[in-house]
């Protein structure tokens, strides 16, 4: 890390006045029984909503707005892994039937989604049995997360799945020379795509921290730190807006997808929600990696910068509440839609920064985000959360139709109340 992040005296961004919407409603206030009840009820409702995810041959497809499966998506590895993760945690929380639902997801990872010939996991398998091409880092990172959570939940076959997922990842995706993950191979693992991306590295960081906490293997925590150091350096030299896309030599590609600005996984420009999500992961890593706050402090400072830049660029910048999806490299909105995952990660990060710093402004941000989620994002009639809203907070589905999975929303009902230094599944198990 550079010296610019090493001191609390380094200037934080000055946020626009009035961005925090103050509320005295205990339903939205960290530390109140009312807020805990509100979020605990959402935990239950989400688990209830997603119960219909299992596909006939195992795994999970994409959920429609009513919780049924959209057959056009077939079965997808990243969604299947997320549902295995969620229902493994649900099992540890004592939700009825959650263990069996986790097993149904795991059946997809050990069965239909697994490439028995070349190893690894197909991104997607369709109803006719054909599969999408390529082997994708993003999906493989979620297999690791799912297996580590299933291991903690005591699900059958979880250890074997985790061992294979780590071995596959270490062989094909982890570049130990630079300390980052590559992105996409062809199906046979013989040709590596030149694209490099931080979205896959972000979820790799999450998965590595989960493995370290679940198994005690600190190798993966060290690896997560190597990724984080790169991210902080790139962000600091780019106005704390994180570059997302890179070429094969890890040179920044700021114009990637300029002609497809709302891409589902590789949108053009800066993604403020990712700045917020990275901030939480950085704090988690720092708190778990240093014996005292002096060592963690530069990383917590960096996380504060990322959070400040993101909310300054994205929150309530066009006259309506919510975080815009993307901005250009000067912080001007590009795609003004609001995605549910950004709101969920904002809850997590605001609570985590409050726990790490003790500063009241982060509790105020948490209350602001909680109110927004309650008023605009939670589907109080149909269940789960609306996944995409337009700039006026009306439900749309151009990028995220339906309610694909539970992962982001579910985690945001728990992470704010758990140890910020510990991955969610281990923290739930420790609290049981």
| Residues identified as active-site | 274, 408
d(CA 57, CA 77): 13
Alpha carbons within 13 A on the beta-carbon side of 254? 9
d(CA 7, CA 29): 30
Strands 245-246 and 326-327: unpaired
Alpha carbons within 13 A on the beta-carbon side of 89? 28
Residue 5 near residue 301, CB atoms below 8 Å: yes
d(CA 160, CA 222): 23
**Joined tokens for residue 264:** 């589902």
φ and ψ of 214, to 5 deg: -75, -35
Alpha carbons within 13 A on the beta-carbon side of 186? 4
């Amino acid at each position: 890390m550079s010296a610019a992040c090493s001191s609390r005296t380094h200037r934080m961004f000055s946020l626009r006045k009035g961005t925090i919407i103050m509320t005295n409603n205990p339903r939205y206030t960290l530390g109140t029984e009312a807020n805990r009840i509100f979020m605990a009820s959402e935990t239950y409702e989400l688990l209830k909503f997603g119960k219909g995810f299992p596909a006939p041959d195992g795994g999970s497809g994409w959920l429609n707005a009513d919780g049924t499966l959209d057959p056009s998506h077939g079965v997808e590895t990243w969604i299947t892994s997320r549902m295995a993760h969620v229902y493994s945690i649900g099992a540890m929380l004592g939700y009825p039937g959650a263990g069996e639902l986790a097993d149904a997801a795991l059946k997809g990872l050990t069965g239909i989604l697994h490439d028995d010939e070349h190893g690894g996991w197909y991104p997607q398998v369709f109803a006719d049995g054909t599969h999408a091409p390529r082997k994708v880092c993003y999906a493989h990172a979620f297999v690791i997360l799912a297996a580590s959570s299933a291991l903690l939940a005591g699900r059958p076959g979880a250890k074997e799945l985790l061992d294979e997922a780590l071995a596959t990842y270490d062989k094909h995706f982890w570049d130990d020379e630079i300390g980052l993950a590559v992105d996409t191979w062809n199906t046979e693992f013989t040709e590596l795509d030149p694209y490099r991306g931080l979205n896959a590295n972000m979820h790799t960081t999450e998965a590595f921290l989960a493995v370290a906490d679940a198994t005690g293997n600190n190798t993966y925590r060290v690896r997560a730190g190597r990724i984080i150091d790169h991210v902080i350096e790139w962000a600091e030299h780019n106005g704390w807006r994180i570059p997302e896309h890179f070429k094969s030599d890890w040179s920044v590609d700021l114009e990637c997808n300029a002609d497809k600005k709302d891409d589902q996984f590789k949108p053009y420009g800066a993604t403020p929600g990712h700045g917020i999500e990275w901030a939480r992961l950085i704090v988690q890593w720092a708190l778990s990696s240093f014996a005292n706050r002096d060592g963690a402090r530069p990383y917590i400072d960096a996380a504060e910068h990322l959070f400040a830049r993101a909310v300054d660029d994205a929150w309530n910048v066009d006259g309506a509440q919510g975080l815009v999806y993307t901005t250009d490299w000067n912080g001007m909105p590009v795609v003004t839609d609001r995605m549910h995952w950004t709101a969920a990660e904002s809850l997590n990060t605001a609570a985590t920064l409050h726990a790490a710093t003790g500063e009241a402004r982060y509790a105020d941000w948490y209350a602001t985000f909680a109110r927004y989620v309650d008023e605009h994002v939670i589907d109080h009639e149909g269940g789960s959360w609306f996944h995409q809203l337009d700039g006026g907070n009306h439900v749309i589905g151009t990028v995220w139709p339906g309610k694909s999975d539970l992962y982001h929303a579910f985690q945001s009902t728990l992470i704010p109340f758990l140890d910020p230094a510990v991955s969610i599944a281990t923290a739930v198990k420790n609290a049981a």
